Each structure stands twice: as structure tokens, then as C-alpha cells.
Amino acid sequence: MEGDLHTLKGLAVSLGAMDPVGKEEINRIITDINEENKFMKIGFADNADWMGSNPDDDYYSVPVRNREDQPLGLLYATNPDDILRNMIDETVLSGVLVTEILDQNGMVVAGNAGTKDQEKVREVISKGSQLPFPMDSQGNRQQMAVLIPLEINNWYVLSVFPQSGKRDRHIETGIGALILLSSGLFLYFFCRQYKSINENQEALLELANRDSLTGCRNFPAFKKEAERVIREENILSYAVWYCDIKKFKFINDILGYEEGDRILSSIADLFRDYGEEEALFCRVSADNFAGLHKYETREEMRSWFHNLVEFFQSRELPSYKTITIELCMGVYCMEENDRDLSIERIVNRANIAQKHVKSQPGNQFGFYNKEIRNKVVYESELESEIDRAIRNREFKPFIQPKISIQKGNRIAGGEVLVRWENPRKGTIPPGLFIPLMERDGKIVKLDRYMFEVACQWLNSYLKTGREPVNLAVNVSKIGMLRDDFVDFYGRVKEKYQIPDGLLELEFTETVMLNDDAVFSSLVSRLHKKGFVCSLDDFGSGYSSLNLLKNLPIDVLKLDIMFFRKSTDIKRERIVISNIINMAKELQIRTIAEGVEYVETVDFLTSAGCDVIQGYVFAKPMPIEAFDEMLLKKKGEALIPEDIRV
């Protein structure tokens, strides 16, 4: 047991060092260990669980603390009762004595509970006596008992034996047996402890190096080994690869996490089988793997990847027969002066190269190069300028008109789209800086600012008595999840006295995928405050139809650009018409976005689409230009113009 306690402490330190580590991950590791270890059963309770449990249930526990020394929970261990009992019974006493192991408070650690007179036991413990003493049994029959200290954790062996006519002989046999028992137990524990510490240390080492899900190396172990290779060998012949399994989230969503985990495990096996003996790779996180590869030319490295793809395709694993695994790999080729770079930074470069090609369809492969490097530099420059730009009001709202095609091509309103007017770099489109702002949450501030500016303009516009227009703003995912989200938007709407039905909030599909119950309740609260809610970029995700079934949204924005990827225009139109019809039946209005050609306008008009927002009518423009356009066109029909010409 003392050995077990050592193991427990070691395990607690390892788990704490893995921080951030979730309860699920800890439990998975523990399950593995429990399967290997028949002497002790380990459990984990996080801070919340532990509050609700009875500390008497468990015999020993150690705290798990993260690197900041904050408690994550407790690891506790129990030895299955029967192990000790069998041991005790078989070793010495078979049937003559009732034996228990007690702690210094007289509480049973193991053995047959129910025969003890705890008061008495405590009294004897406090006296430190090792002589037999009388003890009452449940039926008030007198029994004799002996307490022998065990040299472990201040525990005692309590032995009780019935008092009979042959009392003296029993006592003699009993005491003799007890001495044998305690020394026997001590020896046994001593040997086992020695063995178990060694075994457990090996297990801990193994645990520290392995990824518990796939069994392949984990990142810290990879790092150690890769650093050694780079130190000792010719750095120029090595490249680091980073591989992402495309659409893995989709696999998880469709097949469930359990199946997803199984697939990840098979993928790790494939990497192992494909590589030469002892290929050096690891799972970095989730569905991302990284490795070190020895290569001669870049061409060879590229064909190594293509062969890997073929290898993946040739192995039809039963679990993903119907799903094609697509790989996206980025590679960083080491240079002479990279010896001082950390493995993290090198792997990060391979990852950046991977991200660079990820958006293209199919299996993808790309090297880290100058262009990517410049992009990273540019992005970090932008990132460092964001705070200043917010302060200096460099973010400007542009508006792209929305045209009501069933009501004589009139301007129904517009969508507010942000532009960054950077004093040195010129106008920067949102695609370049919004992803950066999403990373650190600054997007929430920007979205709220855009919304307030839009309300300000709408307020002054409405005051002139002109025909009301609808204005839509984008809401980022993190913004929607803020506690004061509905309150903030409601408050600003009130402050500028905007009537109900004129302000529209656009949410992207991905925002809702994870938790449509949360989203539904947000939408109903927004409805109560007079907002229109729309689902943006419909068709670019994958569970769109399912979403429609559950979400109480008012407007569906179809991304026509997305549909344009299809090659068969007839089929494409069948799909679009049917989505529009379905939306109509659900009383959801439709907006087609990204429309560039007059013929698409004609088709959408006949298909019953309500609104078009696209270059075919107008591009996004400064708010003043939009105001002017409204004034000039005042209820007039706009004429669509092909952008092809």
C-alpha cells in the first residue's frame, strides 16, 4: 500500500504537469492504469465531485495540482477488500480468527467489518498495548482480541477470536499466529512495495511519453527525441511536418466522439505503419500529428506525402469505409541557423504552412516559404496595430445595399461591413484582420462599435423622416456567447430609439452548430427586443438543413458563391429553388448573397427569393455614399449590371 501511495503521488505530479488537462483525459489515463494494476483501484474526483463524497469511503488520497499549484482535484485509491482478505486468510489463520486492518482511529481499512468495539480498540491503541484484551461481540459474547501495529501508515492488525473452554490454547495459538501474521504481512508488503515501485515507475515513464488515446508518442516525448536528433545529426537533411486531418470535426459530429477516437487511433497506426522503422512522430493535439522526416530533395518529400495519401487510401479500415480521410500537410525544411530555434517554433512553422493550404479542397501539401513568412509578419504587424486603430477610429462601417427583387428592385436596407482604413497600409478588407481579432476576443469590441455607429446613423436618418430601411450587422461567435450580449444590443437599440424590425443581427452557421438550444433561447430573447435574426453563409457548412428544423430564425442568407462551385448549373438551381421553397414554408425570408450576374438575378426572382445582396446591384460603400444612394434612388428600381463586363 505504501508503494501504491508512492504511485499515486507520482501520478498526481504527472497529471498536474500535463495541465491543461481535462477530467475526461485524466479518467481515460486512470482507466488504463486500473486495467494494468489489480492491487489498487484508482479514481479521480475533481474539486466539485470531492465535496459530495464521503471521505470515509476511500482509504488514501493525494491532491492533484496544476503548474500554478492550484488544486485540480484528488486522486484516491482503494485496495479491493478481497485481495487483503484472501491474503490474510490464506497466509496464516484460515478460519480461527477474524482479522481486520485498522487505522489509528480504529476505522477499518480492510477486512471484515462489524465485529469491533471501536471504543475499546481506540483505548488499546492509545495505550500502545500489544496484549490480548477482552472485547464485546454483537451478541454480547465475550471475545479476546489483539492489536498488532503494522509498520505502514500507522495501521494495525486486529484479530478477534472466540472465547471458548479451550481459551488458553486458542490464545496461545492465536498469539503465535499473530506474530507470524504481522511479520509475514510485513515481509509481503515490503517485497511487493519494492516490486511495485519499480513497476509503477516504468508505467509512469511510459505514461509520460505516450499519448493515451492513440498510443503513439506525445508531444513532450517527440520534442525530447527531435531535439536530440537535431543536436546530433545534420540538421539540413531534416524536415518537420505537421498534418491535419481535414473535416475531422465533421467525423466527430456525424459518428460521435467514440468513433472519432477510434479513427484517430487507426490514423496513428497508419502513420506508424507507413513510416520507416521507428519513425519519429507524435500526436500534437486533437486531430493534428507532427513528425520529423529525413529527406534529400523537396521533390522527394512531396512524393513521400503523395505515397502517404495513397497508403491511407489503400487501407480501408472498417470504421471509416464510407468516409474518406483527407490529409493536409505543411512542411518546414530546417536551415543551418535553425539550431537555436525551439521545436515548438519549428513545428509551428510547419503548422503555418499547413494552414496556408488547408482551405483548398482535397489532400494538400505545402512548404513553409517566404510568402508565408511575409504573411505571418504582416499579420503580426496588423495585430500589434489593432488597439491603436480602435482608439483612432480607423475601423469604418461600409454598407452593401440589399435589393428587394420581388418588390421592384428597391433598396430594402443594407449590411454593415467593416473596413480598416489604415494610415500606412491603406484600406484593409475584414478577411485579413477579423480572424486575428477573433483569436483574442477584440472582435467583440469591434462588433459592438460597428453596431453603435450603425444605430447612430440610422437614428439621424430616420429623424429626417425618410422611408425606414433595414440595417444588418454581423455578430461574431464569441460576441454572441457574452453574458451581456442581448442586454448590450437591446440597450443601444433603445438609446438610439430604433423601431422594432429595422435592426438585423447576422449569425454564421458555425455559431449555432454546437448548441442550438442556447442559440434558440438567445433568438427568442432578441425577438422580444424587436431584432430580426438571420443565418449567414447558409450552404457553406454541412448540417444546414438540420439547423433550419430547430432554429426560430427570420432570414436565411444563401451564399451563392458557394453554390457556384458546382459544375452542373441545372442541379445547382434545383437545390437553390428547393431551399427557397422550404424556407418560405417555414416563413423564413431568403437573401441571396454574392450575386454577380443578371441571369442569376432572373433565376432567383423566378425561384421566389426575396432579396439580393451582390455586386450585380452594388458593392459595399461608405455610409455617406449609401445615404446618398438612398436619397437619389428614393423608391426607384435598381437595374442589375453584370460584373463580367
Please select the residue that binds ligand C2E; options are 211, 287, 447, 504, rule is CB under 6 A.
447
User: For residues 462 and 469, what is the distance between their CA atoms, to the nearest angstrom?
Assistant: 9
CB of 594 to ligand C2E, least distance (A): 4
State the binding partner of 450 from ligand C2E, Ca ion, none, CB within 5 to 8 A by kind.
ligand C2E
Burial of 532 (0-12, 13-18, 19+ CB in 10 A): buried
**Binding residue for ligand C2E, selected from 10, 260, 366, 430, defined by CB under 6 A:** 430
**Residues in 520-539 that interact with ligand C2E by CB under 6 A:** 536-537
Q: Which does 417 bind (CB under 5 to 8 A by kind): ligand C2E, Ca ion, none?
A: ligand C2E
Find the binder of ligand C2E among 417, 453, 454, 486 (CB under 6 A): 417
User: What's the CA gap between 369 and 350, in Å, rounded?
Assistant: 10
Angstrom distance (rounded) from CA 26 to CA 16: 10
- CA 147 from centre of chain: 53
Tell me if residue 524 falls in helix, strand or coil.
helix
Shortest CB 584 distance to ligand C2E, Å: 22
Min separation Cβ 416 and Ca ion, Å = 9
Which partner from the list ligand C2E, Ca ion, none does 264 bind, CB cut-off 5 to 8 Å by kind? none
Tell me how far, at minimum, the Cβ of 576 lies from ligand C2E, in Å: 15
Residue 253 makes CB contacts below 8 A (sequence gap 6+) with: 513, 543
Interface with ligand C2E includes 434 (CB under 6 A)? yes
Query: Should residue 474 be labelled a site residue for Ca ion when binding is judged by CB under 5 A?
Result: yes
Q: What share of the chain is helix, strand, coil (3-state, %, to 5)?
A: 50, 20, 30
Q: Which of 216, 209, 319 minimizes the C-alpha distance to 258?
A: 319
Cα–Cα distance measured from residue 53 to residue 127, given in angstroms and rounded to the nearest whole number: 33
> CB under 6 A: which stretch of 153-161, 385-393, 524-532, 611-619 binds ligand C2E?
611-619
Q: Residue 473 CB, nearest distance to Ca ion (Å)?
A: 8
Q: What is the x/- site pattern for ligand C2E, positions 467-506, by CB under 6 A?
A: -------x-x------------------------------
CA distance 552 to 545: 13
Residue 4 binds which entry of Ca ion, ligand C2E, none, CB below 5-8 Å type-dependent? none
Choose from Ca ion, ligand C2E, none: what does 615 bind? Cβ within 5-8 Å by kind: ligand C2E
Nine cell digits for residue 489? 444590443
Rounded to 5 degrees, φ, ψ at 158 are: -105, 125
Residue 431 interacting partner from ligand C2E, Ca ion, none (CB closer than 5 to 8 Å by kind) = ligand C2E
Q: Say how far residue 335 (Cα) sits from the centre of its chain.
A: 34
Q: Nearer to ligand C2E by C-beta: 330 or 430?
A: 430
Cβ-based neighbours of 304, under 8 Å, separated by 6 or more: 293, 295
d(CA 444, CA 473): 12
Out of 1, 8, 62, 443, name the contact with ligand C2E by CB under 6 A: 443
Cα Rg, the chain, nearest whole Å:
35
Residue 139: count of CB within 10 angstroms of its CB? 6
Site for ligand C2E in 78-137 (CB under 6 A): none
Binding-site member from 211, 287, 504, 506 for Ca ion (CB under 5 A): 506
Q: Tell me which of ligand C2E, Ca ion, none is bound by residue 366, counting a contact when its beta carbon lies within the kind-specific cut-off of 5 to 8 angstroms.
A: none
Select 33 or 412, whichever has its Cβ closest to ligand C2E: 412
Q: Quick one: which segment of 29-37, 265-273, 345-353, 427-435 binds ligand C2E (CB under 6 A)?
A: 427-435
Residue 547 sits in the site that holds ligand C2E (CB under 6 A): no
Orientation angle between helical segments 370-391 and 430-440, nearest 10 degrees: 70
Distance CA 161, CA 567 (A): 89
- State the Cα–Cα distance between residues 372 and 348, nearest whole angstrom: 12
Minimum CB separation from Ca ion for residue 51, in Å?
45
Number of other residues whose CB lies within 10 A of the CB of residue 58: 16
Return the range that interacts with ligand C2E (CB under 6 A); candidates 234-242, 277-285, 308-316, 593-601.
593-601
Q: Does 509 bind ligand C2E (CB under 6 A)?
A: no
Sign of the CA dihedral with 542 first, then 546, 548, and 552 last: negative
Asked if 200 and 3 count as a contact pair (C-beta separation under 8 A), the reply is yes
211 binds, among Ca ion, ligand C2E, none (CB under 5 to 8 A by kind): none
CB of 473 to ligand C2E, least distance (A): 6
Q: Which of residues 163-222 bind ligand C2E (CB under 6 A)?
A: none
Question: Strand, coil or helix: what is 22?
Answer: coil
Under the binding rule (CB under 5 A), the answer on residue 537 touching Ca ion is yes
CB of 342 to ligand C2E, least distance (A): 34
* DSSP type of residue 553: -
Give residue for cell 452548430.
513
Taking the least distance from each CB to Ca ion, the nearer of 352 and 450 is 450
Size of the site for Ca ion (CB under 5 A): 5
Note whether 615 binds ligand C2E by CB under 6 A: yes
At 590, list the grid cell: 431568403
- Residue 259 CA, chain-centre distance (Å), reads 16
Enter the C-alpha cell of residue 381: 504587424
Residue 536 in the binding site for Ca ion (CB under 5 A): yes
**Applying CB under 5 A, which residues contact Ca ion?**
474, 506, 536-537, 593
**Applying CB under 6 A, which residues contact ligand C2E?**
400, 417-418, 429-431, 434, 443, 447, 450, 474, 476, 536-537, 593-596, 613-615, 620
